[in-house]
Structures are given as C-alpha cells and as structure tokens.
Amino acid sequence: MNKILVWDLPVRLGHWTLAASFAIAWLTAESESWRNVHVAAGYVFAATIVFRLAWGLVGTRYARFSSFVRGPRAVLTYLGSLFTSRPQHWVGHNPAGGWAILALLGLGLVTAVSGIGAYNDFGGELFEELHEGAASAALALVGVHLAGVLVGSLAHRENLVRAMLTGHKNGAPVAAIRRQAWLAAGLQAAWITLGAMYLKQLVG
C-alpha cells in the first residue's frame, strides 16, 4: 500500500487543539493563580468541539462520522482481528476508534458546559462535581485512546501519531482524499479564536 492523504487539515488541527487545550486546562485546574488560563483553555476546548461536530457532518470523507461510526458487531470483529496474524486495516478510523471519538467528544462537551456553568455560579455544587467527574472520565478515556493508538500502530506497522501530524496513512491511491481543506482550516482557526472570545463575553 502507498502513503495517501487521509486526514485533512481541519481534522489534524482540531485533534491537536483539543489535546493541548485539555492538557492545559487539566494542569491548571487546581491553581487559583492560573485560573484565567484554565478558563481560556476551556473556552478554546469548547469551541473546538463545536467545530469538530459540524465537520463530522460536512467534512471530507474520513472526517465524517458516517465513515467511522459502526455497530457493536463491527467493533468486536475489529478487536478480535487484532489477535490474528492479519488484523483488519481501516484507512480512516477503525470501528473501536470511532466509538472512542464519540465518547471523547461527548465527555468533552459535558466537561466544557459544566465548567462554564460552574465558573458562572450556575447549578451550585452539582455543576462543579459534574465538571470534575466528566473531566476525570475524559482523562481515563484518553488513556484508553493512547493505548489503542499504540496497539494499532504495532498491529498495522504504521505510526498513527505521525499520521495525525502529516495526514498520510497506508492505503490504495483510490482511497485518498483530494484536498487538505485549507479554507475550512482557516475558518476553523477563526471560529476557535472568535468563538472562544464570544463565548467568554456571552457567559462572563
């Protein structure tokens, strides 16, 4: 198989922005002196999730949820194939990875909304506990995701971290996407920046 373009620029930019903003928010969560940094990272995180949800509907082939969200049987079949000499290879996200993405986006959205609520004194301790619980669950799922990336990289002899940096994976030339979606990436960057600023003004 050849190296083909699979992940467009918005997918890669969104992936690493989510990772960085979540890491910054987590590391600054317990510090009063870094509270503004924590809140700013949370707004960036929230705006990035909103864009990724939209891009999952209208984005390029492998960015769309319809390309990687599969039923339980497909997930179990894929996981079982990892213990064989010829594991299933998916050009885009594999079925197990697709479920992990949905779970991460869902938990991320709960974390962001409850965090905004707690920051603005909505819901009292309920939002604070929900925020901490969702963030902890998301962190645990990130650990599972990283383990899955490691297993997938070894099983398919393919560096999946590098693929999310360059956008290229193993596949037949006919399976490649045709564009990096530069315009969408520019709109994404503007949305993340302006959306986060507007969200902060809107809710305080």
Q: Give the H or E element holding residue 169.
A: strand 168-171
Average the pLDDT over 90-97 and give the result.
94
62 — phi, psi (to 5°)?
A: -85, -5
Could you read off the pLDDT of 170-186 as tens digits, one per residue?
999 999 998 889 889 99
- The one-character DSSP state at 171 is E
| Domain carrying residue 87 | 2-203
Summarize pLDDT for 53-89 with one digit per residue, the tens. Answer: 999 999 999 999 999 999 999 999 999 999 998 999 9
Q: What CATH number has the domain bearing residue 92? A: 1.20.950.20
Q: Mean pLDDT, to the nearest integer, of 90-116?
A: 95
Q: What is the mean pLDDT of the chain?
A: 91
Four-residue CA torsion sign, 174, 61, 145, 12: positive
For residue 33, name the pLDDT band (cuts at 50, 70, 90).
confident
* Tally of domains in the chain: 1
Provide the sign of the torsion angle of the four alpha carbons 38, 43, 46, 48, taken in this order: negative
203 pLDDT band, cuts 50/70/90, is low
Bridge partners of 5?
168
**pLDDT of 204 strictly over 60:** no
Which amino acid, 47?
A
Q: Output the CA torsion 91→96→97→102 (10° steps).
A: 130
For residue 201, the model assigns a pLDDT of: 67
DSSP, collapsed to helix, strand or coil, labels residue 168 as: strand
- 196 confidence band (pLDDT: 50, 70, 90): confident
- Does residue 114 register a pLDDT over 90? yes
Q: Is the pLDDT of residue 118 over 90?
A: no
The answer to whether 169 and 163 have CB atoms below 8 angstroms apart is yes
Q: Which DSSP letter does residue 89 get?
A: -
Output the pLDDT for position 177. Answer: 94
* Backbone torsions φ then ψ of 2, nearest 5 degrees: -95, 165
* Better pLDDT: 151 or 193: 151
How confident is the model over 140-178, as pLDDT tens digits? 999 999 999 999 999 989 999 999 999 999 999 999 998
pLDDT band of 6, cuts 50, 70, 90: very high
